[in-house]
């Protein structure tokens, strides 16, 4: 379906999340716009420290406030703004409508409760199910994420599972109340390569079955290429480019996107060549009181004096393809 | 589980043996013995003194006396107090309940303060509440119990005359007045000990909770849509208790030390004051027995902590 014509499921506009620290204000998310349609898989890419996790946490208001604060913007969930909602109202949305899984499966589960209890807890919270019903649902969910002998494993503690298996448990937990959107914040980053592929496959299968939309956050362009329909590229707290996957890989416009694509390891090249990837030189700048202008300027080979004057807006240069760079 | 318990109990036996050997040797080498007083008493002829020493085996080598003590002890014979002229076990059983009640009540008070205050402060770090709680905890932890005890007596007994400052084991009353009399005289010692421990445990609880609040699974718990109360009680406090249990168990010797001092100040007829008076009277069998009881209590609390620890943390298995 086309996310731009129908009303999107989630529409973030002008979102700013800042952290007050002793050294100054960290503008972790500084004017982010993005939208996700029903059942769509949106990839959100960018190097580490670009504000991807803060964006994801802000949607569910999981940011620690203070020091964090949503300074501006709207988060429209099916047309309703989440920013002004209080904790009680947010609780009804968490897991029930929007669920999230995290990067570190080893630490995302509470070590002192069985995985069954941790899944059942969500079901009891949102569906007022009895203990028995909730535990049955936990077994069923564990079966769906392909954990062998789920009726036995449901009574096991997290330390009895491997990293990949724990991420499956997290997915089971996240989907147990059939949410309309799953935010997956680097779900495979902490896992071995073979396990990564299995988890991505599982996410695909779960999407087939439950039909939820997925916001797949990653720093790995390869993961995006395999799973997403549309991609948002983030850099230093802002969206710098947005396009469909095909369009983005065929015609990357933003110099940062071009750099990211060039740095994808390619299996068809020899190992010694792969080691010499064309990585983008330099690092993500500090988001502590950043200077005006394009934040990529320090690393951009096309940068001109104009680039440091004012930040370029995200503009639609072709149908469905937006970019924030003065070159376009 | 029962096998684990059995193993822990078996480990406790050599520890207690070791402690008793050290205690016994130190006491044997220390100057003065129960007949020291007789030595300066001109009415007792030297032959009688020597005969008495021989009769009670005080001239034997230390290890012989230790083995004799151990044999008697293992058969339930705790010895005889030369000073009070009663069996040591009778003496201890008279005193122990009072000590246990005062210590127990004060530890309950300490937990009732430390758990809520430490948790509330840690969930709002650097807030006004946190800062006030921290300061009070620091003050409470820095003031020794003998000092606060005397201040309490000056305020509540001497100035206000609300509470008695001498503890009596017999209270001439019945029914409600009897219970109230006991409670009234226990208030100050329990408060002094409880506030002191409460202050130090508040700091433990706060830092343990602070360590847990930033962990990923707490974010997971919030992301589930659970109420904040459930997130705190079920996912934060429950996990923070694991290190707290260990710290509390390690503090038990300090607790008993504090109890001895407090018993002296409020003249509580517990085993702490029994220890002090027996030391002053050179009543070696009583000193030995009371210190040994303290050692047993410390080991018992460590055992309880081990069990609690395994119960709180499923990663520790009872194998
Ligand atoms: N609690 C916080 N306090 C201060 N700065 C923070 C906090 N959380 C995140 N940040 C900052 O926000 C920026 C974006 O972080 P994050 O969203 O985690 O990046 P990403 O997920 O893209 O790797 C980083 O510079 C990080 O240091
Ligand atoms: S705006 Fe200027 S500095 Fe920024 S990406 Fe475009 S050309 Fe480079
Ligand atoms: Mg991140």
Mean per-residue pLDDT, B203-211: 94
Encoding tokens for residue A51? 């504000």
For residue B124, pLDDT over 90 is answered with no
- Give CA–CA dist A52/A235, Å, rounded: 9
Cα atoms in the Cβ-side hemisphere of radius 13 Å centred on B217: 26
Instruction: Specify the pLDDT at position A274.
Output: 47
* CB of A56 sitting under 6 A from ligand 1: no
Query: What is the per-residue pLDDT for A275?
Result: 47
Instruction: Give the ipTM of the model, two decimals please.
Output: 0.90
The residue-averaged pLDDT of A239-252 equals 95
Instruction: From chain B, pick out residues whose CB is under 8 angstroms from the CB of A99.
Output: 223
Write out the DSSP string of A123-175.
HHHHH---HHHHHHHHHHHHHHTT-SSHHHHTTS-GGGS-HHHHHHHHHHHHH
Residue A100, pLDDT > 90, answer yes
**Per the CB < 8 Å rule, is A121 touching B224?**
yes
Q: Tokens at residue B19, please? A: 């402690």
B interface test, pick of A100, A104, A110, A113 with most B CB neighbours within 10 Å: A110
Give the chain B residue nearest A110 (alpha carbons). B217
Distance A58 CA to ligand 3 centre (A): 12
Chains A and B: how many Cβ contacts under 8 Å? 66
Give mean pLDDT, residues A223-227: 90
Between chains, do A121 and B315 touch, taking CB under 8 Å as contact?
A: no
pLDDT for residue B79 is more than 90: no
Determine, for residues A94 and B216 on separate chains, whether the beta-carbon distance falls below 8 Å.
Answer: no
User: Of B167, B49, B52, which Cα lies nearest the Cα of B102?
Assistant: B167
- Contact B314/A122, CB-based, under 8 Å? no
Q: What is the mean pLDDT of chain B?
A: 85
Cα A117 to the center of its chain, rounded Å: 26
Domain assignment present for B27:
no
Residue B136 Cα, gap to closest chain A Cα (Å): 25
- Assign B89 a pLDDT band (cuts: 50, 70, 90): confident
Euclidean distance between CA atoms B78 and B292, whole angstroms = 11
Q: Given pLDDT bands bounded at 50, 70 and 90, which one contains residue B179?
A: confident
Average pLDDT, chain A: 90
CB within 8 Å of B158: residues ≥ 6 apart: B165
Q: Three-state SS across A42-72?
A: EEEECCCCCCHHHHHHHHCCCCCCCCEEEEE
Distance CA A200, CA B15 (A): 55
| Lowest mean pLDDT across A86-100, B150-164, B172-186 | B172-186
Mean pLDDT of A245-251: 94
Using CB atoms, pick whichever of A95, A96, A107 lies closest to residue B217. Answer: A107
Non-local (6+) Cβ contacts of A72 within 8 A are A14, A15, A16, A31
Q: How far apart are CA B11 and CA A89, in angstroms?
A: 54
When CB atoms are compared, the residue of A60, A107, A111 closest to B223 is: A60
User: Tell me, what's the pLDDT at A264?
Assistant: 78
Q: Do B225 and A87 touch (CB under 8 A)?
A: no
Q: What pLDDT does B234 receive?
A: 95
Taking the centre of ligand 2 as the mean of its atom positions, its distance from the CA of residue A315, in whole angstroms, is 14
pLDDT classification of B3: cutoffs 50, 70, 90: confident
Highest mean pLDDT among A261-270, B81-90, B155-164, B198-207: B198-207
What's the gap in Å between the CA of A285 and the closest CA on chain B? 25
Structural domain harbouring B131: 88-312
From chain A, the residues in CB contact with B310 under 8 A are none
Among A46, A241, A254, A327, the mutation site with the greatest number of ligand 2 atoms within 8 A of its Cβ is A327
Closest residue to B235, CB basis, from A94, A110, A125: A110
Residues of B engaging A, defined by a Cβ cutoff of 8 Å: 215-217, 219-228, 235, 238-239, 242, 312-315
Considering only A134-143, A253-262, A279-288, B271-280, which range has the smallest mean pLDDT?
Answer: A279-288
In chain B, how many domains are there? 1
**Interface contact flag, A94 B314, Cβ < 8 Å:** no
Domain contains B70: no
* B270 assigned to some structural domain: yes
Using an 8 Å CB-CB cutoff, list chain A residues near B217.
Answer: 107-111
Most confident of A282-286, B27-31, B225-229: B225-229
pLDDT score for B161: 80
Q: Using CB atoms within 10 Å of the CB of residue A143, give its burial: 0 to 12 exposed, 13 to 18 middle, 19+ buried.
A: middle
CB contacts of A87 in chain B (<8 Å) are 228
Name the residue ranges covered by the structural domains of chain A: 103-178
pLDDT value, residue A205 = 93
Kindly give the number of the ligand 2 atom that is closest to the alpha carbon of A295: 4
More confident call, B146 vs A322: A322
Which of A42-51, A91-100, A161-170, A271-280 is predicted least confidently?
Answer: A271-280
Contact present, B98 and B169 (Cβ < 8 Å): yes
Q: Is the pLDDT at B78 greater than 90, yes or no?
A: no
Mutate to test the interface with B, among A112, A126, A159 (most CBs of B within 10 A): A112
The enclosing domain of B115 has a CATH number of 1.10.3720.10
pLDDT of residue A93: 95
- Name every chain B residue with its beta carbon within 8 A of the beta carbon of A184: none
Q: What is the pLDDT of residue B32?
A: 66
Cα-based angle A194, A195, A200 (whole degrees, multiple of 5): 105
Report, as an integer, the average pLDDT of A251-279. 73
State whether the beta carbon of A324 lies less than 6 angstroms from ligand 2.
Answer: no
Ligand lying nearest the CA atom of residue A257: 2
* Residue A19 CB–ligand 1 contact under 6 Å: yes
A201 pLDDT higher than 50: yes
Of B217, B223, B227, the CB nearest to A110: B217
> What pLDDT, on the 0 to 100 scale, is given for residue A3?
45
- How far, in Å, CA of B38 to CA of B27, rounded? 19
**pLDDT category of residue A292 using cuts at 50, 70 and 90:** confident
Look up residue A279 and give its two tokens: 């990585």
Nearest atom (ligand 1) to Cα of A63: 1
Residues of B in contact with A109 (CB under 8 A): 217, 220
Ion ligand 3 contact residues with beta carbon within 5 A: A 53
For A182, the closest chain B residue by CA position comes to B223
pLDDT score at B236: 95
| Per-residue pLDDT tens over the stretch A105-134 | 999 999 999 999 999 999 999 998 999 999
Using pLDDT thresholds of 50, 70 and 90, give the confidence band for residue B1: low
Closest CA of chain A from B313, distance in Å? 6
DSSP string over A298-323: GG-TT--GGGGTSPPP-EEEETTEEE
pLDDT at site A27:
93
> Could you give the 3-state DSSP secondary structure of residue B244?
helix
């Amino acid at each position: 379906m086309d996310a731009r014509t129908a009303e999107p499921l989630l529409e973030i506009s002008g979102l700013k999340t800042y952290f007050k620290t002793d050294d100054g204000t960290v503008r972790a998310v500084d004017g982010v716009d993005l939208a996700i349609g029903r059942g769509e898989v949106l990839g959100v890419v960018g190097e580490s420290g670009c504000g991807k996790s803060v964006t994801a946490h802000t949607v569910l208001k999981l940011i620690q406030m203070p020091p964090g604060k949503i300074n501006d913007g709207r988060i429209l969930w099916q047309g309703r703004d989440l920013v002004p909602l209080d904790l009680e109202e947010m609780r009804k949305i968490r897991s029930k409508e929007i669920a999230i899984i995290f990067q570190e499966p080893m630490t995302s589960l509470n070590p002192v409760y069985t995985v069954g209890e941790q899944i059942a807890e969500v079901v009891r919270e949102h569906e007022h199910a009895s203990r028995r019903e909730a535990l049955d649902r936990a077994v069923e969910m564990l079966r769906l994420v392909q954990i062998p002998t789920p009726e036995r494993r449901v009574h096991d503690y997290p330390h009895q599972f491997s990293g990949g298996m724990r991420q499956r448990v997290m997915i089971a937990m996240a989907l147990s109340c059939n949410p309309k959107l799953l935010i997956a914040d680097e779900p495979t980053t902490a896992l071995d390569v073979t396990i990564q592929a299995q988890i991505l496959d599982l996410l695909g299968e779960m999407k087939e079955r439950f039909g939820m939309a997925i916001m797949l956050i990653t720093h790995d362009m390869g993961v995006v290429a395999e799973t997403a329909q549309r991609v948002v590229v983030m850099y230093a707290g802002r969206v710098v480019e947005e396009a469909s996957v095909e369009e983005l890989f065929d015609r990357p416009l933003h110099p940062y996107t071009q750099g990211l694509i060039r740095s994808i390891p390619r299996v068809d090249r020899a190992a010694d060549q792969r080691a010499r990837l064309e990585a983008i030189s330099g690092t993500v700048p500090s988001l502590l009181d950043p200077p005006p202008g394009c934040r990529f300027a320090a690393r951009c080979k096309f940068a001109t004096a104009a680039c440091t004057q004012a930040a370029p807006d995200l503009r639609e240069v072709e149908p469905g393809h937006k970019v924030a760079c003065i070159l376009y | 589980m029962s096998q684990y318990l059995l193993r822990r109990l078996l480990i406790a036996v050599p520890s207690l043996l070791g402690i008793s050997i050290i205690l016994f040797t130190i006491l044997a080498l220390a100057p003065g013995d129960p007949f020291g007083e007789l030595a300066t008493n001109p009415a007792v002829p030297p032959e009688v003194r020597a005969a008495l020493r021989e009769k009670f085996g005080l001239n034997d080598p230390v290890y012989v006396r230790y083995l004799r003590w151990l044999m008697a002890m293992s058969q339930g014979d705790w010895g005889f107090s030369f000073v009070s002229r009663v069996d040591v076990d009778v003496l201890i059983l008279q005193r122990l309940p009072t000590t246990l009640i005062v210590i127990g009540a004060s530890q309950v008070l300490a937990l009732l303060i430390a758990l809520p205050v430490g948790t509330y402060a840690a969930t709002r770090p650097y807030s006004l509440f946190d800062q006030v709680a921290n300061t009070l905890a620091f003050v409470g932890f820095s003031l020794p119990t003998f000092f606060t005890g005397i201040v309490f007596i000056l305020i509540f007994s001497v100035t206000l005359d609300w509470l008695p400052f001498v503890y009596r084991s017999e209270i001439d009353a019945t029914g409600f007045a009897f219970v109230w009399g006991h409670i009234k005289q226990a208030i100050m010692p329990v408060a002094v000990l409880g506030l002191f421990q409460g202050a130090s445990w508040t700091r433990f609880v706060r830092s343990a909770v602070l360590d847990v609040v930033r962990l990923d699974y707490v974010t997971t718990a919030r992301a589930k849509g659970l109420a904040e109360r459930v997130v705190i009680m079920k996912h934060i406090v429950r996990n923070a208790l694991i290190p707290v249990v260990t710290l509390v168990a390690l503090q038990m010797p300090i607790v008993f030390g504090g109890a001895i001092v407090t018993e002296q100040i409020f003249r509580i007829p517990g085993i702490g004051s029994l220890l002090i008076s027996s030391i002053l009277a050179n009543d070696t069998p009583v000193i030995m027995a009371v210190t040994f009881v303290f050692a047993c209590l410390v080991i018992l609390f460590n055992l309880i902590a081990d069990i609690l620890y395994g119960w709180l943390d499923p990663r520790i298995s009872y194998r």
